[in-house]
Every structure is written in structure tokens, then in C-alpha cells.
Chain A
Amino acid sequence: MGKRLVIDPVTRVEGHARVTVLLEDSGKVRDARVQVIELRGFEKFCVGRPVEEMPRIVTRICGICPWAHHMASAKAADALFDVQIPEAARKIREAAYSAHLVHSHLLHFFFLAAPDLLSEPGADYQVRNIMGLAAKNPDLVRKAVRTRHIAQEMTRIIAANAIHPDAVVPGGFSRALTEEQRQQLLPMARECVEFTRFALDYAKKSVFKPRWVELKEEIPLTTGFLGMVDRDGGLNFYDGMLRLQSSGGGEYAEFEPKDYRDFIDEEAMEWSYVKFPYARSEGRLSLDPENPVGVYRTNALARLNVCEHIPTPFAQQELLEFRETVGRRPQNTFLHHWARLIEAVYNAEHALELLSDPTITDTNVREKVTPRAGRGVGVVEAPRGTLIHDYEADDKGFITAVNLIVGTTHNSAAINIDVLRAARQLLEGGRSDEEALNRIEAVIRSYDPCFSCATHNLGGGLPLRMNICDSRGEVIRTIHN
């Protein structure tokens, strides 16, 4: 009989997750599972509600990525109502969404990832956090926070409510952007471009390039990738085609988002509430770390791997340098961080580009919608990966079925395999110190996972705790922060 080692829950990821590492008596790691507490009952809750309510409801799923749900939901409703939104509405939606992505990507890098990347391995938990980072780099952190303020203020100016947006409506946008607002937003977008470029430069010099020298010899998990591209194969977060690249390398399937079921299948695991999507073309899913089958990843690295280019100048230069350094289709999980900051530059540039176009203030921002029976699929690239909202409705416009696949769900298989690989490397021989746990956590965090946004209260906690249990399930050792 083996021992069970539990890390519960993971700190500094969005929501809750439990990591269980199963040890043999010899101390060898037998298996590792990342178990997720899913947002349950959502489909049941939605059935019978008017389609047009959905974009407002879904912002409550998650306080961290409300814009992605809001956007995907409105796009699903557009598709269901078979409406083409006005061009100005598309531009406004994209400008707001780009600003949100800057806000979110900076959150991940500075608040969640940087404490791991910029602290010494094994550093005390009391300094290995954003406060420790702020004490060491006060100007950098202050500027990051200022840019986040600016990006969020941009979404507020455009959409009135930044935390729980309600301005994206089926058929377009609820209000036009005025010229005065455009003039107010332009310098803010410029400041976002300036800081994201600075942050990327800083991170390349202090973290990405030095760390890559150490990591490039590692044998990474090899998977396929899923991401959205525009009609020219350029990076796009708002609209386009989905590309599902095989784990073998260059081959990919490119399809309309509405056809995702033809390319992605889902499998249930007895130990997890979350379904595990996999590439249908590979016929099955295997989480064997030596020979994974059907596994693909989404998120920043996936997006950069599936696109041909980035359609904004500074980010494109960064992509070229990235590829020159790490190759055309790198697999190393660590590179999510580098890719994410390149995406932050792109989104800042894209917002500036959209706001520089005076036609964004066109007052025709909403088409009338008429209820009809049918199905609508809305897909965007959320900060954490490809986000799919799939709705069906009756002829009165009431929801009859809902299917959501969030970015973290796409990554379920890969996260599990990567954690097992890390556990085998770090916990061999029964080792269970905090540094090893921190590094396993860091593997999970590199995916920027969002493990559902369920209930919470003052008594709830997000501590890091490791229980080592003997073969009878009794705790023989506990380590917590």
C-alpha cells in the first residue's frame, strides 16, 4: 500500500484545487492528480432563461475573467439570433476586451507569477509573494499597478461597469463611444503600450532569457495546442478560426468555432468533476506522461504557437525574438509567462490601434435581434485559454441547453501530466519540503488556471497544506504555510 500526499488547496490560483500525490511505500511517486471543484449547477440554472440575459449572468461566474465570459456569451447570442453586429460595435467590444486583457495579464505576471520567478527558490513564503516583490522592486510594482488601474479605467469608460460588465449585448454594444471618450482613452492606451513593453523588456532580461538557458535542455511535456487566429493566421483574441495543432508538430486542423465538437471530444474521470477534452482526431485520451495521447493545451503559449504572426508591430518583433530564442513551436510550460507578456504588448497595441480609428465613434452600434430557435456558439480567447459558450434556445428565445468549456478545462489533462512529471522529479525518496511543493504549485500556476469561482465566506480559506498519509489514510505529517 502506498502513501498519499495532499497539497490542498493551491495558493495564488483563481479558485480552489487540490493536488494529491500518491506515493508508494518506497517513496516513489505513483500518480498525481489535480482535482478541481467545479462550478456546479450552471447549466440547470440557465435553462429557461432568456438568451439576452446570458451575457449579464455569466459575468458572475468569475470575478477575475468576467469580460471573457461576457464577450463569449454575447457572441453566442449573436450567433443564435443570426445577427451581424455593426462594425463600430465590434471595434468597441475589441477595444474594451483588449484593455481587460492587459489588466488581466499584468495581474497574472506581477501578482501571481513574478513572486516565484523573481524570488530565490525556497525563499520564505513571507517574502515569496507580491509584498516581498514590492519591497524589492517598489517602482516596478507601482508602475504595474498604475497600468492595471489605467486598463481597468479604460474598460469603465467604454462600458460603465468594469467588474461586472453589461454593455456587450446581443446585436452589438449598448452605447456608442463619444469622440471625447476616444480622446480620453488614447493617452491611456499609449501608456499601456509603454509599460507592457517596459515590463516585457525587464522580464526578458531578468527572468526569461537567463532561465531559458537553464531550462532549454529539459525534456518538456509534448502536447498539441489550441488557439484562435484571424483569417490571415494572425493572433486574435476576439474572433476568427480555431486551430488545433497536433502534438506531432506542424500539422493542424483549422475550423469554424461552431464546429468545435467535430474536433474536440470530452472524457470524464472518476476522480474529477471536470471533463477532460482531447483531440478527437487522436481517437482517445491518455495521461501517460511518457506517451500522452490526445492532449492539447490552450493559453498564451498555445496562442503564440498556433499563429503565424502577430498583427501589431511591437508584439510581432517580440514574437520573432521569442521564436529565434526558443524555436517555432516550443513546449516548455515555463514559456507561458514570456508568451503572456508578449500578448500584453499586443493587446495594448491593439487597443491603441482601435481607438486611433475615428470610425469607432460611429453611433450605429446595435442591431435589433429577434428570438428564434437554434444554436449559437461564441468563442473568444480568454486570458486562460480558448473559451467556448454553446447555447441552444427555443423559438421564444429561452435557453434549452448550455455547454461551457473554459480555458482551464482544456488544460486539465496537461496540468495533470505536468504535475505528475514535476512530482516524480521533486518528491522522489519521500521528500516533501516546502520548496518542492512550491515548485509543483509553480507548475500549476504557469497555466494561469481558474479553478471555478464558487462560493466563499469569511471562514473559507486558501491555505497551502500538505498532508502525508500512511496506507491506512491516517495523517502522519502536515506541512502548511
Chain B
Amino acid sequence: MSGWVWGARVVVIGCGNVLFGDDGFGPAVIERLHADYRLPDEVVAVDAGTAAGELLLDALLGEETPGTLIILDAMDFGLEPGVVEEVPLEALPVNKRADFSVHQFPAVNILKELRERKGVALTLLGCQVKSLPDEIHPGLSSPVARAVNNTAKLVFEMVCKEVKTQLPRI
């Protein structure tokens, strides 16, 4: 079956709930990628909302797995709001190590298994939030909104490089 997500060689997943302020960073980058860039055919960028864990478990356990996976999410690591950094898996909270949740942010175990068992090249890009509302309140804060454009550009460059290096030589 030609998969909608998993037939692709490079998959970009935006995680987050757009109803909760800066948590919508991941989906906002995906939206920008679709609006402003022409993604190569081998690349799929998907706004997974709060269903990323479910998607990744399917990727891990199924027959089709992308070669490269880029995950975008909000984070709160005490940095300047709007700072986007690559986050090593090892930097994620240790209490998630044994969790195979299918909801919200994909558990570290799923990501580690994807990397180690399936050989997926994995990049996590986290954006430091300014704040997260207690109640539904859509819309990114100014510093996080400003980070969306640059992150979309960065991701586009990453996927182009990835696809190019993976293309067979003619």
C-alpha cells in the first residue's frame, strides 16, 4: 500500500495543540512549509496535532518507515522564548523512558526504538515557549511566532539536503 505518511522517505511531523498558545508551534511550521515551499515528492510534512505518538507507533511497528524523521514541538527548557534548538533524545525527561503513550508528545522510547531498531535518522527541533495557557487560547506569542519562518526555512533546507543525499546516483 502506498502510505500517506509512511510511503515517504522523509517525514516532518509538527506536534502540538493549536488551541493552546505556543503549543501550536509545530503545526504553525508545517502550515508555513505547505504555504511557502514546494516540498520534494519524497517528503511529507504533517500537522499531527496531539496524535504524533499514534503515528510514530504505527511507523515503528509497521512495514513502512521513513529514512528520516524530523519532529517539531514546543518545549520549556528555560531558554529565551522563541529559541529553536535541536534537542538530543537523551535530554528529554528521564521519567518518560518507559512510556509507550500514543498521545501528545511521542514517548522517548518510541523515538529511541525508531532510531535504533529501524535505523531512522531522527531530528528533534524544539522551540522554547513564552508561556502556555491554562485555558484554550489559540495564537502564538510574538517571539514564538517570529521563530516560525526561520524554522520552516531551516526544515526545508534540511529535507532538501536529505533527499538529495539519498537520491541514487545516475
Contacts and interface: CB of A to CB of B under 8 A. Distances in A.
**Are A and B co-members of a single complex?**
yes
Contacts of A150: 1
B121 interface: no
A63 B113 CA distance: 22
Interface in B116-167: 124, 126, 129, 132-138
A469 interface: no
Contacts of B168: none
A271 interface: no
A152 B50 CA distance: 16
Interface in B92-136: 92-93, 95-96, 98-105, 107, 109, 113, 124, 126, 129, 132-136
A454 B20 contact: yes
B102 A64 contact: yes
Contacts of B135: 40-41, 44-45
B43 interface: no
A462 B106 CA distance: 10
A443 interface: no
B16 interface: yes
Most B CB contacts (10 A, CB to CB) among A145, A163, A455 go to A455
Given A153-B1, A457-B75, A60 B17 contact: yes
Contacts, number: 170
Contacts of A129: 98, 100, 109
Interface stretch (A9-17, A255-263, A391-399): A9-17
Interface in B21-57: 21, 23, 46-52, 54-55, 57
A15 B95 contact: no
B99 A463 contact: yes
A144 B136 CA distance: 35
Given A14-B103, A162-B4, A463 B50 contact: no
Interface in A87-110: 107
Interface residues of B, number: 59
B69 interface: no
B20 A142 contact: no
B80 interface: no
A11 B3 CA distance: 29
A337 interface: no
Contacts of B136: 39-42, 44-45
Contact of B74 (A12, A107, A457): A457
Contact of A63 (B6, B54, B64): B54
Contacts of B109: 129, 131
Contact of B103 (A64, A131, A459, A465): A64
A458 B87 contact: yes
Given A63-B103, A152-B4, A457 B129 contact: yes
Contacts of A142: 61-63
A157 to B, nearest CB: 9
Contacts of B62: 142, 145-146, 149
Contacts of B102: 12, 14, 64, 107, 111-112
Counting chain A CB atoms within 10 Å of each CB, the highest count among B48, B87, B96, B100 belongs to B100
A455 B132 contact: yes
Interface residues of A, number: 56
A130 interface: yes
Contact of A12 (B58, B100, B124, B132): B100
B103 A457 contact: no
B77 A63 contact: no
B113 A163 contact: no
A66 B104 CA distance: 14
Contacts of B124: 458
A14 B50 CA distance: 10
Most chain B CB within 10 A, of A13, A39, A62, A463, is at: A463
Contacts of A15: 103-104
Nearest to B107: A462
Contacts of B21: 455
B19 interface: yes
A146 B48 CA distance: 19
A283 interface: no
A463 B107 CA distance: 10
B8 interface: no
Given A163-B49, A458-B73, A463-B96, 8 more contacts: A12-B101, A12-B102, A63-B104, A149-B58, A453-B50, A457-B75, A458-B92, A463-B95
Interface of A: 11-15, 39-42, 44-45, 57, 59-64, 66, 107, 111-112, 125-126, 129-131, 134, 141-142, 144-146, 148-150, 152-153, 156, 162-164, 453-463, 465, 480-481
Pairs A-B, 6 closest by C-beta atoms? A41-B135, A63-B51, A63-B50, A458-B75, A455-B20, A145-B62
9 contacts: A111-B54, A130-B61, A131-B109, A146-B1, A153-B1, A455-B17, A456-B104, A461-B95, A465-B95
